[in-house]
Amino acid sequence: MNYFHDSSVILGYIFFGADRWGRQATARINDPVPNHSSKYVWEECFGAQYNDGSFDEGRCGTIKIKIASEARRVIHRIQQNIPLNDILSEIRQQDYKTTDLFRALFTQYGADPQIIEKLKVAFRRFEGLCYQRYTEVNDTNKITKHTRRKSYNEIFALLSQHIPDTADVEIIIDGHHLATQIPVVHLVTGDEGHIYNNTPHILENTNITEVIWLGSP
């Protein structure tokens, strides 16, 4: 068996403590099953690749900026002497990516008079762990990245009848292309609406063996 991961899995793994799929993505990537992905997924996660091998950061960069901005706003609210429970309510209502992270940190440091400094240290530690995971997926063999040069126009047309997002269709076809090269490929995704809910169409029209949704029990 082999896993083919889309961007929701890779980004969930990197930002494990501030992503709804962090725990599930980590479990899949650390599962003793070969991990695969594609150049198309990589560009979605990390942007276009330059000649020196670096990336323009893509969705990964956007998430990093969002997380850092949320942390600054939370610390500012504490400096305004807003009760921690009220801050938690605010960030939950505003759907902060860091809600669970700050809930845990408030539980740990809520009574500490040095809470702001403790939060800054803890957040820098979290950023360091995210960077470590970023390095793992980019600079090691943890995930094998594949490049597809074949278009599969017929499959694209069939899947596009059911899946409106062409980027999702391209990723599914990347998984199909891998499945023509190696046996038993399971597509792992956090996208319930466009990908998982279309499992019957994907299995009917591609060589993918199974579609695994990160939200499944």
pTM: 0.92
48 and 147, same domain (yes or no): yes
- pLDDT value at residue 51: 63
Q: What is the CATH number of the domain that holds 209?
A: 3.40.50.1010
| pLDDT at position 50 | 64
Contact 208, 186 (CB under 8 A): yes
Question: Residue 139: what pLDDT?
Answer: 81
Q: How far apart are alpha carbons 145 and 139 in whole angstroms?
A: 11
Domain identity same for 147 and 45: yes
Please check whether residues 81 and 94 belong to one and the same domain.
yes
pLDDT at 39 over 60: yes
Residue 209 pLDDT class (50, 70, 90 cuts): very high
* C-alpha angle 157-167-145 in degrees, rounded to nearest 5: 110
If we measure between CA atoms, which residue out of 39, 3, 217, 15 comes closest to residue 134? 15
Q: Tell whether 125 and 186 lie within a shared domain.
A: no
Does 134 share its domain with 72? yes
pLDDT at 158: 97
Are 145 and 46 part of one and the same domain?
Answer: yes
The confidence score (pLDDT) of residue 140 equals 82
The tens digit of pLDDT for each residue in 152-187 reads 999 999 999 999 999 999 999 999 999 999 999 999
Answer yes or no: are the C-beta atoms of 209 and 186 closer than 8 Å: yes
> Which structural domain, as residue segments, surrounds residue 44?
2-54+141-213
Tell which residue, 115, 166, 122, has the closest CA to residue 18: 122
DSSP per-residue string spanning 94-134: TT-TTHHHHHHHHHHHTT-TTHHHHHHHHHHHHHHHHHHHH
pLDDT for 138? 87
Domain identity same for 66 and 26: no
Q: How many domains are there within the chain?
A: 2
Tell me, yes or no, whether 79 and 37 share the same domain. Answer: no
Determine contact, residues 23/11, Cβ cutoff 8 Å.
no
Per-residue pLDDT of 113-166, as tens digits, reads 999 999 999 999 999 999 999 999 988 889 999 999 999 999 999 999 999 999
Amino acid type, 185:
V
| Tens of pLDDT, residues 44-61 | 999 876 666 555 678 999
Rounded CA separation 164/157 (Å): 11
Residues contacting residue 38 through CB under 8 Å, at least 6 positions apart: 4, 145, 146, 147, 148, 171, 174, 175, 177, 178
Q: What is the mean pLDDT of the chain?
A: 94
- If asked whether residues 152 and 135 sit together in one domain, one would say no
**Residue 200: per-residue pLDDT:** 98
Upper half-sphere CA count for residue 8 (Cβ side, 13 Å): 20
Q: In what order do the strands lie in the sheet with 35-38?
A: 144-146, 35-38, 2-5, 185-189, 210-213
Tokens of 90: 């605010």
